[in-house]
Amino acid sequence: VHLLESGGGLVQPGGSLRLSCASSEFSLSDHYMDWVRQAPGKGLEWVGRTRNKANSYTTEYAASVKGRFIISRDDSENSLYLQMNSLKTEDTAIYYCAKVWGSYYDYWGQGTLVTVSS
Amino acid sequence: DIQMTQSPSSVSASVGDRVTITCRASQGISIWLAWYQQKPGRAPKLLIYAATSLQSGVPSRFSGSGSGTDFTLTISGLQPEDLATYYCQQANSFPLTFGGGTKVEIK
């Protein structure tokens, strides 16, 4: 397993959750990394990007999550995080972390399910 | 935002058939396009990048063509293991966007 997500679960609307993505195969600091989500039975939606250490870990976000979600990293843990705040029912999805290769995704995690419901 | 429109939304074909999936971008994206295969319960897998380049390890029956706004994924000789949903993705500009998906079923 190249990428492994964790941290998903059931959370109430308005709540927070932090997802993690770790790798035992890659030094994540060398790579751009994205989060992509998939609502149940639906298509893929890009959530956000963190660039690599050489590019100061700058970030980009989808409009639907900007101001609510934050992507961060911990190099000592070789991990990537997605802090999700002010969660809405429409944030219910499987969340994947994906390694960016050029402009595309060559490795994906297995995904972690986030359910926002009262 | 660049909208990606895939057609058809589903296709049923027999083993050995040629299957063609199209993807249209709402504005020109040069060759900044990828195709992914997603099998049920699995993460997506990169098949084609830069519109026409076959990812390492992907069978040669998969091919991509196109540039600008119109792109095609072709499966030449459908196999049972090709049962999946296929997505296009543009990498030209943020926000990155995906097509709605094409579900390929085996008759």
Q: Strand pairing partners for B72?
A: B22, B65
Residue A112 contacts residue A1 (beta carbons within 8 Å) = no
Q: What is the mean pLDDT of residues A15-40?
A: 96
* Cα separation values, B76 from A2, B14, B37, B53, Å: 30, 12, 15, 16
The pLDDT score that the predictor gives to residue A108 is: 97
Looking at the partner chain, which of B32, B43, B94 has a beta carbon nearest the beta carbon of A96? B43
Q: What is the mean pLDDT of residues B13-38?
A: 98
The pLDDT score that the predictor gives to residue B33 is: 98
The pLDDT score that the predictor gives to residue A1 is: 76
Please calculate the CA angle A68-A31-A100 and round it to the nearest 5 degrees.
Answer: 75
Model confidence pLDDT, tens digit, residues B46-80 = 999 999 999 999 999 999 999 999 999 999 999 99
**Nearest chain B Cα to A109, which residue?**
B43
**Nearest chain A Cα to B44, which residue?**
A108
**Nearest chain A Cα to B57, which residue?**
A106
Mutate to test the interface with A, among B23, B47, B96, B98 (most CBs of A within 10 A): B96
Q: What is the mean pLDDT of residues B27-50?
A: 98
Separation CA A7–CA B86 (nearest Å): 28
Taking the Cβ of residue B68 and every Cβ of chain A, the question of whether any pair is shorter than 8 Å is answered with no
Inter-chain touch A105–B46, beta carbons under 8 Å = yes
